Structure 1
Amino acid sequence: MSVMIKESPISEKAMIEEAEKALADISRVRDAVGRVIFGQEAVVERTLVALLAGGHALLVGVPGLAKTKLVETLGIVLGLDSRRVQFTPDLMP
């Protein structure tokens, strides 16, 4: 089964303007997160890609890498809710 969505055509100029607005928004988010999270640019970038793609992200690493702080900061900057799930060996079945 296929679904056809009828949309009015968008001009090239309008498409470019929308892309530039999106890029500016993404840059503002990256800058705001960068004021709190230092030295983790690749992690921030990949986490933003996962969010923008509508996917999930699992942040794994040794203690002290600002994983929880990154999620908290993104939640504040983007106006999202966040929940923390603590996984430790003593909680495993």
Structure 2
Amino acid sequence: MGISAVGMLWFSSAGQYKDFLAIFEDAEVMPSTFSKWQERATQMHDKVINTGGVIIKAYASPDEFRAWCTAHNHGFNANGRMAFASFQAAQKINQTHPVQKDQ
């Protein structure tokens, strides 16, 4: 049985959050401040954990996020954030739990 996890783009500071908001095409749907985002993100994190799920925090710089989205034909929006975080989660799972091939 595989590991099921949710990736979530995670911001490390108010300054970084502001930098990301500047590039998001849909910044208006995001909480207006880092503290509001942090409160909402922590609630979501705790809810997933409390129901037996796993959240993998996807950290990146705005430049890394922008480059990944461009390379994978994603916008700098909710879809791009979800795709990037899912990709990062899959990478982390594969690094810590490599797939065993039948011999």
User: The TM-score by the shorter chain falls in which range?
Assistant: 0.3 to 0.5
RCO comparison, higher one (Cα < 8 Å, 6+)? 2
More strand by share: 2
Q: If the length of structure 1 is used for normalisation, what is the TM-score?
A: 0.32
Larger Rg computed on CA atoms: 1
